[in-house]
Structure formats: C-alpha cells, structure tokens
Structure 1
C-alpha cells in the first residue's frame, strides 16, 4: 500500500492493485487450446500439454548457503542449470523456475 500511495501521489497515477497471476496455455488432446489465468479454471477432459512461463534465475550467495538454496529451488520445481564458484566463499547458482512458484500475493 505504501508503494501504491507513493506512486499515486508523486506521479499522479490512478492505480488498481490486484493479486499477481500466471497465465497457462493448455492444449487438449483434440487440439483445442485454452488460456487459463487461475488453476481452478483448468478445463475438464484430457489435457495433452500445459505450458507455463519460467524464469531463469541467477543467485549469488555465500558458499555456506548452497544447500539451503538448492533445497528451496528444488522444492519449488526448479531445475539446476549450473553452479560456479566465484571465489572460495562465493557461488553463482543458476536455476530455471516456474513463474508460479515465485509470484505470490
């Protein structure tokens, strides 16, 4: 609310705040395509494929936190792309993560 009020006041904007959502593309076995903005709207029937936006994340952190960071990313359906030690005590970890696992309201 503080950010919204400041944007309205300082820039003269009229903003509407909504919960974030992620758009899914659903392909049915019969070839029809549906756009879904809420998981509760998934179509009935046989789904062939589901597409969702993903994020390529680069995380820079002290090497002592590698374990907890990897556990968190993997618990959020993340796929490890790579990891490089930048120095003895710093690491760069790269993941692909579904946007739905990052966006919260």
Structure 2
C-alpha cells in the first residue's frame, strides 16, 4: 500500500510541477493539493527511516504552491492594443469598400 501511495504521490507532484510552470493559474492547485494530501498520508504511514521521500515531496509541493500563488498575485495579464494591426484593419476595410464601389459602378 505504501508503494502505491508513493508512486501516485510522485506522479501528482510531477503533474503539479508541470501545471505550475504552464499558464494555468489556480488550476495548478488541484494536483498540488492531491500531492500534498498523498504526501501527508505517506508521511503518516512511513517509518522513521522511510520519511525522506514524503518530506521531499511535501517540500516540492510547497514550493509549487508558493510559485503558483506568486504568479497569480503578482503577474497581471494585460492585453495590449496593437495600433499597427488596427490601422491595417481600417485600411483593408476602406480598400474593400472602394472595390465594392468599383464593382457596383461597372454594372
């Protein structure tokens, strides 16, 4: 049972690291929470000599949660208006209107 929990905790910890790096915001807390719970359960079921892996997993999960929380609080998502694109869009509209007027004038 301990080996199964260890494998699952490691898998969720790796997924938590991946989700932390990707721009998934608070969705990364789901695998982090599962990895934390499994690591705590593993820590409880381990003997004194076997507690190194659960402690390492808890440390990595804590770092991931701090990283995700920092990204969520301090990095703002801003959409910048691209003036060049807007100008090209207006020019394209004007050209399309001129072409339609020319086509209507030919008929």
Into which bin does the TM-score normalised by the smaller protein fall? under 0.3
TM-score (norm 1): 0.21
- Scaled by the length of structure 2, the TM-score of the pair is 0.21
Higher-Rg member (1/2): 2
